[in-house]
Amino acid sequence: MPSCPDLGPKPHLGYTASLIDRAAHRRGEVAALAADGRAGAYVIGGEMIVARRGASGGDPLFALADAHALAAARESVLLGFRDGVPQFGVGIGKEAAESLKARDDFLVTDLRSIAVQGLVAPEHLPPLAEAKALLAWHARHRFCSNCGVLTDLAEAGWKRVCPACKTEHFPRTDPVVIMLAVRGEQCLLGRSARFASAMWSCLAGFVEPGENIEEAVRREVQEEAGITCGRVAYFASQPWPFPMSLMVGCHAEALTCDIKVDAELEGARWFDRDEVALMLLRKHPDGLGTPPPVAIAHHIIRAWVEGDVVAFD
């Protein structure tokens, strides 16, 4: 393989390496834990994260009592413990979050912007992702899917129980495969109409019922770009709280080269390794780029450019 330009230190993958001990066995102690004067909380209103404004960004961790004083809580869920101190996620209404946005002492914005722009310390991103995903599940699953009755929050927010038919409902995580199809010194990147201008990325799609990861990778690449893939190699995974997914990163062996773009994509094409390196470095002559380091797509692409993947050839 030709030598690769120096891409610099490997960046951290966003929303991973949580310092929170989830301690599921203590979820029955929520009343006592909420009374702990040291307890902290992350405040979330729909897509918005609330943080105290600082000189270089924001601090999203409030004392639990202060979090509840900001606005009426729709749900309060136990995330776990950091250094023995209970940490909660507090969900407030979108309107309440918008009203706090008007205050100079608060930074209120969406989690994606916070992560991409580095508006909070990296250690806060995993618990923010956990809180946002869990609270989003509650917002979408208040009623029993079996009988339609309003359910009750239980197990510190990690379960809902139907008071009528007694069905138990648990938070769901949607698996999404995100993959880079490679063929010799080329890789396949696609563009969605919702992407930032000139950004190209990996293909991705939800895993369907009765399908394993490898099958989902092959199906999605075939559907979106008309490329047949063979071997599939797992790379890494990433929580993706938009609203509650798990991105399963892979590299795939492309067996064909003729692209047929599906309606889901604005475009797809093969890129040479050297060109992708320039995209990662933000030095492409046409201004083309890849996703930011907070996203697993960046890491999947970079690993291939640097030769840090399974060799399919």
Write out pLDDT tens, residues 66-82: 999 999 999 999 999 99
147 & 203 share domain: no
Q: Does 294 lie in the same domain as 179? A: yes
In this structure, the answer to whether residues 126 and 238 fall within a common structural domain is no
d(CA 92, CA 100): 11
CA proximity to 177, closest of 218, 223, 118, 148:
218
Classify strands 40-45 and 267-272 as parallel, antiparallel or unpaired: unpaired
Whether residues 157 and 202 share a domain: the answer is no
- My answer on whether 165 and 263 are in the same domain is no
- Whether 295 and 233 map to the same domain: the answer is yes
Q: Indicate whether 16 belongs to any domain.
A: no
Element (H, E) at 38: none
Q: Which amino acid is at 290?
A: T
Domain assignment present for residue 130? The answer is yes
Q: What is the mean pLDDT of the chain?
A: 96
Axis-axis angle for helices 296-305, 273-280 (nearest 10): 140
Domain for residue 11, yes or no?
no
Same domain, 165 and 190: no
My answer on whether 167 and 274 are in the same domain is no
pLDDT at residue 2 in the model: 60
Give the separation between CA 92 and CA 121, rounded to whole angstroms. Answer: 22
* 41 vs 78: CA distance, rounded Å: 9
Residues 73 and 88 in one domain: yes
Q: Verify that 184 and 273 share a domain, yes or no.
A: yes
Does the pLDDT of residue 42 top 90, yes or no? Answer: yes
Q: Which pLDDT score, from 0 to 100, does residue 1 have?
A: 57
User: Encoding tokens for residue 128?
Assistant: 């923010």
**Full residue range of the structural domain in which residue 116 is found:** 24-140
b/e 54-77 (16+ beta carbons within 10 angstroms → b): eeebbebbbebeebbebbebbbbb
Instruction: Tell me if the bond preceding 86 is cis, omega within 30° of 0.
Output: no
Q: DSSP class of residue 150? A: B
Determine, yes or no, domain membership for 229.
Answer: yes
Residue at 208 is within a domain: yes
pTM of the model: 0.95
The length of the chain in residues reads 313
Q: Is 221 domain-assigned?
A: yes
pLDDT at position 119: 96
Q: Does residue 194 lie in a domain region?
A: yes
Instruction: Examine residue 4 and state whether it is found in any structural domain, yes or no.
Output: no
The reply to whether 60 and 113 lie within a common domain is yes
Average pLDDT over residues 156-177: 98
| Residue of 291, 295, 292 whose CA lies nearest to 189 | 291
Q: Report in angstroms the alpha-carbon separations of 8 from 11, 64, 249, 280.
A: 9, 40, 22, 10
Q: What are the backbone angles phi and psi of residue 120, rounded to the nearest 5°?
A: -135, 165
pLDDT tens digits, one per residue of 185-211: 999 999 999 998 899 999 999 999 999
Count how many domains the chain has: 3
